[in-house]
Amino acid sequence: MEVITNSIAIDELERMAAGMFGNMVKAVVDVDRELLAVDGELHADLEALLIDDGSSQRNLWGINLYPEMAGDDFVEFDSMINMRPSQGNTSRGVENERMRARILEVVAKRIRR
């Protein structure tokens, strides 16, 4: 598991995917601190890593990255940590369109293609 504070190359994500799930890397985005934690077996592990690093749980969102894909297929909004009725999110996805856009901004900032 790794917290990306600068950036990571897409080929590094491809290596991570091959080592764990084959074609996918689990990630958690801190939309406030603009950080990305990657390469965990569970989103909850990545969430805990970021919380230990000073992040607030309410700012953390789980995603899946598909390094070999492009466009809308690169990021999948699907994680158990996203289920937060107290924040108006009642599914494993990210229901708020602005929040999805914010997550994509952080991903674009942290991943070099």
pLDDT band, residue 113 (cuts 50/70/90)? confident
Q: HSE (CB half, 13 Å, CA atoms) of 33? A: 21
Which residue range forms the structural domain that includes residue 96? 2-112
Q: What is the arithmetic mean of pLDDT over 80-94?
A: 95
Number of domains the chain contains: 1
Structure tokens of 37?
Answer: 């934690």
pLDDT, one tens digit per residue, over 15-53 is 999 999 999 999 999 999 999 999 999 999 999 999 999
pLDDT, one tens digit per residue, over 74-85 is 999 999 999 999
Question: 75 to each of 46, 52, 53, 72, 93, how far by Cα in Å?
Answer: 16, 25, 24, 6, 11
